[in-house]
Structure 1
Amino acid sequence: MIRTVETTPFADQKPGTSGLRKKVRHFQQPNYIQNFVQATFDSLGAHDGATLVLGGDGRYYNREVIQIVLRMAAANGFGRVLVGQGGILSTPAASNVIRQYGAFGGLILSASHNPGGPDEDFGIKYNIGNGGPAPEAITEAIYARSQVIDRYLTVDADDIDLDTVEETVIGGMTVQVIDPVADYAALMERLFDFDAIRALIASGFRLSFDAMSAVTGPYATEILGRRLGAGEGAILNGVPLPDFGGHHPDPNLVHAKALYDALMAPDAPDFGAASDGDGDRNLIIGRGIFITPSDSLAMLAANAHLAPGYAGGLKGIARSMPTSGAADRVAEALGIALYETPTGWKFFGTLLDAGLATICGEESAGTGSDHVREKDGLWAVLLWLNILAVRRQSVADIATEHWAKYGRNYYARHDYEGVDSAAADALMAALRGKLTELPGSTVNGLKIVSADDFAYIDPVDGSTSQKQGIRIGFDGGSRIVYRLSGTGTSGATLRVYLERYEPATGDLTQDTPVALADLIAAAAQIAGIAAHTGRNAPDVVT
């Protein structure tokens, strides 16, 4: 029997670039999660009898929210819910399940790379029928509904067993607990040459994958460990934990330092990789060399034809605006289009659906293709392994040859985390206020030739997104980008992106901090970072 429960709105349920993210205890307020889920269902139009996909990254509060959502889905007329066993479903795997089974959409419970635990972060986002994140029109509708909501619908039912692959019924709705790995693993076997990768590993090639006690542990254990023969010893931190083992599941050089140190050691494995909380980001390290996400995108695009799933070539490449221009040169050489979008994977969705792009990437360690509508950490790892299996060169040799052909984009991102939101907004406002006066000026010996606030018009649906990041361009092709991130749960994160292009005839072997030293000083001066934030150095450099 459907039960109607009266409720009152919460003012802070506006989804960000990756859904609604708050502290666990914030979500645990009475009716908080119910309000957001009901606002989502109310905004979707007719979905009677439709299929919903549900799962998350296994973080704290994941299981409890799944039970709440199941009862609400039954009350709101869904006919079937596909839920990952144990409540587990990586973000790219969820996208695949939505697409493979023709689901109406899905709810993914994750705060991505943010820490987990009772005092840490939780998140929820809605993905549409193409498997991708909801576009802004839908997230804005969800928020508008959340501001006037006065009731939610549920049914009275016992919790279901999430740990057994089986079907059950709640309020007339079928709940099917599915193997979270099987469909995704089968997709990867269709895209990549598993025989070639197995042969590489059997030849003595050593790899190390850090699942960071997060969702990709079961996926990596099955695919890398069992199907490709790397063995379970190649998988580090392979069991998903509600608090990610007390660590920050962000695959960067700060939070995956142990992996980085292992790959820089004299007895290093040949290849190292990591993925994040919900499985959509990646870190790639070769023996003695770190590959930046921007460079990884470019190198994967340049070599994608070596994998069976991309043997026919690429339709186009898309990258987020803050991502370096390394992929642009690959697109030019291949004679295909390059699309520059705002940050947020949802902006790639229309390009992929329209067949304009095949491979997409973001500097924040997200890379993916048209196989799903999310970035995909393990996919990137497997494409790298396929390339290594065919070329039979080291990661360092592949990178060296790439830079010798295309030149090198020295690149870094400086994050100032937990900045007072008002101070961060004031910094950005001050920058916007002087955009017209910056071109023609010189800062720290660097001549500014352009300055703007990036706006994007989607070439497929014509939608417009304003204020997506402030760009400062310099004579010679260097640039600085300033942007406030929408992926945190407290305060603001100021991201400063620094990029300097070195042509193939130049010095391609510099240490990145040295190559970017003048830009780093200029970035602090132009934005008045210390004056606005009180910070003299970033919290994280990637």
Structure 2
Amino acid sequence: MIESSCRFCSSLESWLKPSKFKLKRVPEFQQENYTENFIQCILDGGLGQNKKGAVLVVGGDGRYLSPQATNIIIKIAAANGISKLIIGQNGVLSTPAVSTLIRKKRTNGGIILTASHNPGGPKADFGIKFNCENGGPAPDQVTDKIYELTTNIKEYKICPDLNVDFSQLGQDSFQIENLGTFTVQIVDTVEDYVQYMSEIFDFEKIKSLISGQLTGKPLNVMADSMHGVTGPYISTILVDKLGATSKNLLRTVPKPDFGGCHPDPNLTYAKNLVDIMLKGENDLGAAFDGDGDRNMILGKNGFFVTPSDSLAVIANHINCIPYFKQHGVNGFARSMPTGCAVDKVAAAKNIRCFEVPTGWKYFGNLMDAGLLSLCGEESFGTGSDHIREKDGIWAFLAWLQILAETKLSVEDIVKQHWKTYGRNVFTRYDYENVDAAGANLMMNFLEPQLPGYIGKTLTANNVGFKIIKADNYEYKDPIDGSGLRIFFEGGSRVIFRLSGTGSAGATVRLYVESFVEANDTNLFNPAQELLKPLVLVALDLCQMEKFTGRNAPTVIT
């Protein structure tokens, strides 16, 4: 019989914003009672009256502090009357795999230990999030409740003597005093997810593409897991299921500090993959982030597919994917800052397209209502209604399926898309860890001027841009989001937004989108050349350097 007890504690610092989680550094989670407090608040706020007898999935990207946090979750869950935890072996599950298990096992939700695409290590980032029974991120009303509880928590419940070896597959049950049976099932990290992918895609056809049987020439792929959680998944799928070799894989061994790299799949942090693809020896490249929900797609010679274009191409070829042939297509969606390329595909196919705030939970709301099948964010997130999270490996497999059906190169597919729909040339400038006061001053300076911009023409490098609309974006649905937007005649736009996805300082994000008509002679010009005039206009409007002290972005994507 395992005894449970209550331990008194002081309340957490106010470290959560009411509408979303905010990451913290590892040392802050290591403070006395800090992680225990938060897990207790997640169970109380996330499950409410359904806490006793609930079943939860637990896993994460294996970053530093994950084993200790998993152990705490087990002890506190038992003391709170949770009936069962389904835990990935060694506490490891990708974020898409957690969503898969929640939906497959019909659990009450799950706890994910991750700081997504942020660095890991003893002094780096850690995070804990709660996913609901639909498999998706907790909605605002749940995170609001969790936040409220963290401000006045006085005690947490724990079984201090309960010790579970979560390194071995299997199931154990324990009798908890006054609460009954508590079961812990340790499951294979990759099995359920890989099986699901084999049902969604035609693995045999993709295998014949990679081997060369389909086209007469092998498709050389290169997948970079950046020492994140996707290593075991991508090696199982590519090598064991699709016939590739270990030479097609990079950095597949998950490490608590991601090998010292920043596990964010973009042109800056995945430069190793970019350099390999530039050699022209590989036909398709993909990189994934720390927890497996983001992706970057590259073609031969380093041809970069922007996330906005990737979403639009998948939408245009959506019937290549067996899953959609079976389930149909209910709608497309993108986050507000994401390039509008998918809108044009939706219009051509007479399919509804939604624009939502940044945050995957907004897509989940539409999916649960049966209105959405495919969606994406410019921050390298792509996914569908197969789960309720973005899914990096799914996006990579979608591209492989499209290549198998079209028998074209990545670059040819994208350029053919531009010639059909026009080109939404897109870039994002990230100014990371800027002084928060300066960033807010910039936004406060810019917003009141928006109405006065309408009708004006701004010029840079002898190119004029006439402003037809300017606003602070508000989502006209149950939940709202924001961003300062300026629209120009001809379909171009710029967006200014503060982001809260880091653990320190503020991140200013500048989104620039310039539309080029399909018959324009400049259609295939380099993106930065096409975007430069509008970038200069945007930087002049917001006076970035004056308010932030930055004369260049940290990352350009």
Q: State whether TM-score is above 0.5.
A: yes
Q: Which residue of 1 aligns with 2:48?
A: 45
Question: Does structure 1 residue 208 correspond to structure 2 residue 227?
Answer: no
Q: Give the whole-Å Cα distance in 1 for the aligned partners of 2:427 and 2:114.
A: 26
Q: Indicate if the aligned counterparts of 1:18 and 1:133 stay in contact, CA closer than 8 A.
A: no
Q: Which amino acid aligns with 2:48?
A: G
Tell me the SS of whatever aligns to 1:443: strand
How far apart are the structure 1 equivalents of 2:402 and 2:490? 33
> Could you say which residue in structure 1 is the equivalent of 2:16?
14
SS in 2 for 1:311: helix
Q: 1-side partners of 2:10 and 2:121: how far apart?
A: 27
2:190 to 177, 181, 191: 181
Provide the C-alpha distance between the structure 2 equivalents of 1:539 and 1:77, rounded to a whole number of angstroms. Answer: 46
**17 and 279 in structure 1: CA distance in 2 versus 1, 3 angstrom threshold:** farther
Which amino acid in 2 is paired with 1:432? E
Deviation by residue 1:357-413 (Cα, 9 ceiling, x = unmatched): 100100000000000000000000001001111111110111111111011011000
- Kept in 2: contact 1:16–1:486 (CA 8 A): no
Q: Distance in 1 between matches of 2:195 and 2:21?
A: 28
Residues 22 and 503 of structure 2 are in contact (CA less than 8 Å); yes or no, is this contact kept in structure 1? no
| Selected match of 1:227 from 241, 251, 254 | 241
Q: Which amino acid aligns with 1:408?
A: R
Counterpart residue number, 1:269: 282
Matched, 1:446 2:446: no
d(CA) in 2 for partners of 1:57, 1:4: 30
Contact 2:228 2:289 in 1 (8 A): yes
Is this contact kept in 1: 2:200–2:322, CA < 8 A?
yes
Q: Check conservation: 2:20, 2:143, Cα contact below 8 A.
A: no
Kindly report which structure 2 residues correspond to 1:110-509, keeping only aligned pairs within 5 A, or say none: 110-170=114-174, 171=176, 172-203=181-212, 204-266=218-280, 268-288=281-301, 289-311=303-325, 313-444=328-459, 445-458=464-477, 463-466=478-481, 468-506=482-520, 507-509=522-524
Deviation readout 1:475-533 (Å, 9 max, x if unpaired): 22111001111110000000000000111111211111110111111111111111100
Q: Distance in 2 between matches of 1:265 and 1:417?
A: 31
Q: Which deviates the most, 158-167 or 216-225?
A: 158-167
Q: 2: distance between equivalents of 1:217 and 1:429? A: 43
Does the 8 A contact of 1:19 with 1:126 survive in 2?
no
- Cα displacement (A) at 1:127: 0.3
Once residues 529 and 159 of structure 1 are traced to their aligned partners in structure 2, the CA distance between those partners, rounded to angstroms, is: 53
1:96-107 equivalences under 5 Å are 96-107=100-111
Q: What per-residue deviation string (whole Å, max 9, x for no partner) do you get for residues 454-494 of structure 1?
A: 11123xxxx1314x111111122111001111110000000
Aligned residue pair count: 536
Instruction: State the alpha-carbon separation in 1 of the partners of residues 200 and 17 from structure 2.
Output: 33
Query: TM-score, structure 1 length as denominator?
Result: 0.97
Cα 1:177–1:16 shift into 2, 3 Å: farther
Q: Deviations over 1:23-70 (max 9, x none)?
A: 000111111111111111121212211101101000000010000011
1:16 Cα deviation from its structure 2 partner: 7.7
Deviation of residue 13 (structure 1)? 3.1
Shift of residue 442, structure 1, vs aligned partner: 3.0
Q: 4+ residue stretches of structure 1 with deviation over 4 A?
A: 15-18
Bigger CA drift: 291-300 or 478-487? 478-487
The answer on whether the counterparts of 1:15 and 1:21 sit within 8 Å (CA) in structure 2 is no
Amino acid in the other structure paired with 1:399? V
- 1:76-95 matches, within 5 Å, as 76-95=80-99
Query: SS where residue 431 of structure 1 aligns?
Result: helix
Question: 1:18, 1:487 within 8 Å by CA — same for their partners in 2?
Answer: no
Structure 1 residue 169 displacement after superposition = 3.1
- Aligned-partner Cα distance in 2 for 1:432–1:77: 49
Q: Give the match's secondary structure for 1:409.
A: strand
Any unmatched runs of 5+ in structure 1? none
Question: What amino acid is aligned across from residue 508 of structure 2 in structure 1?
Answer: L
Which letter maps to 2:433?
G
Contact 2:22 2:502 (C-alpha < 8 Å) held by counterparts: no
Distance 1:26 1:347 in 2: 29
Deviation at 1:443, TM superposition (A): 2.7
**Which amino acid letter does the alignment assign opposite residue 66 of structure 1?**
T
Q: After TM superposition, give the deviation of residue 17 of structure 1 in Å.
A: 7.1
Contact 2:19 2:143 in 1 (8 A): no
What do you get for the CA RMSD once the two structures are aligned? Answer: 1.2
CA shift digits 1:225-269 (9 cap, x unpaired)? 111111222111001000000000000000111111111214x21
Shift of 1:15: 5.1
Unaligned runs of 5+ in 2: 213-217
Give SS of 1:397's match: helix
Q: For residues 301-343 of structure 1, what are the alpha-carbon distances to aligned partners after superposition, in whole Å with 9 as ceiling and x for unaligned?
A: 1111011111254211010000000000000111110000000
Residues 1:32 and 2:34 aligned together: yes
Answering whether residue 25 of structure 2 is matched by residue 23 of structure 1, we say yes
SS in 2 for 1:530: helix
Report the residue type matching 2:149 in the other structure. Answer: R
Distance 1:39 1:68 in 2: 13
Q: CA 1:14–1:528 in structure 2 vs 1: closer, same or farther (change >3 Å)?
A: same
The answer as to whether partners of 1:274 and 1:283 remain within 8 angstroms in 2 is yes
